Amino acid sequence: MTRPTLSSVDVAIEAMAWSEALPHAKVLATQAADAALGDEHRRGVAILLTDHTVRDLNRRYRREDAPTNVLSFPAIDNMHGELGDIALAFGVCESEARAQSKPLADHLRHLVIHGILHLLGYDHQDEAEASAMESLERELLARMGVSDPYTLSPALDVPKDVGAHG
């Protein structure tokens, strides 16, 4: 008999807009993080569902005074094996989901996976890295029943990689 693994994902909701829009936001974020972590499930990850705090973090740590959807903060080597933290901004995520005609729940799961993959060392600085990362995102999301986030409705005039920062 297989014993269930305990998630090492801690989700904190700072902006109540997340809970109001998605009553199961914590569950969705945890499931997405667990999917991305795979065999790394025992490594600790903290997810902050916030809003305006992300702009301040972006300014402070990336020197970009602009809102963004998700930020990843890898942990320094530590004896507890913690992987790092990610923060997601409700306003940016909600507006991207609306502009791309996709459910906010699906966009949240995509961005959590995107952020976790950054913590695991994936990046999208060049075409080859972006292709590998997007392929893994698609695979993980498909397992969760989420449509390809990089395929948009032909009626939309939105770039392929809207705001996927990390």
CATH number of the domain encompassing residue 126:
3.40.390.30
Whose CA is closest to 149, among 86, 82, 103?
Answer: 103
Is residue 151 one of the residues assigned to a domain? no
Residue type, 35: A
Whose CA is closest to 69, among 20, 102, 23?
Answer: 102
- Phi, psi angle pair for 107, to nearest 5°: -65, -40
Is residue 98 one of the residues assigned to a domain? yes
Q: What is the dihedral of CA 91, 95, 96, 98, to 10 degrees?
A: 140
Is residue 79 one of the residues assigned to a domain? yes
Q: Select the more confidently predicted residue: 153 or 16.
A: 16
Instruction: Please check whether residue 96 is in contact with residue 69, taking contact to mean a CB–CB distance below 8 angstroms.
Output: yes
Domain enclosing residue 61, as ranges: 9-143
Residues 99-151 have pLDDT tens digits of 999 999 999 999 999 999 999 999 988 999 999 999 999 999 999 999 999 88
pLDDT of residue 81: 73
Residues 58-91 have pLDDT tens digits of 999 999 998 899 999 988 876 677 889 999 999 9
Is residue 120 one of the residues assigned to a domain? yes
Is residue 165 one of the residues assigned to a domain? no
- Residue 166 pLDDT greater than 60, yes or no: no
Is residue 3 one of the residues assigned to a domain? no
Is residue 93 one of the residues assigned to a domain? yes
Number of domains in the chain: 1
Is residue 1 one of the residues assigned to a domain? no
- Phi, psi angle pair for 94, to nearest 5°: -65, -45
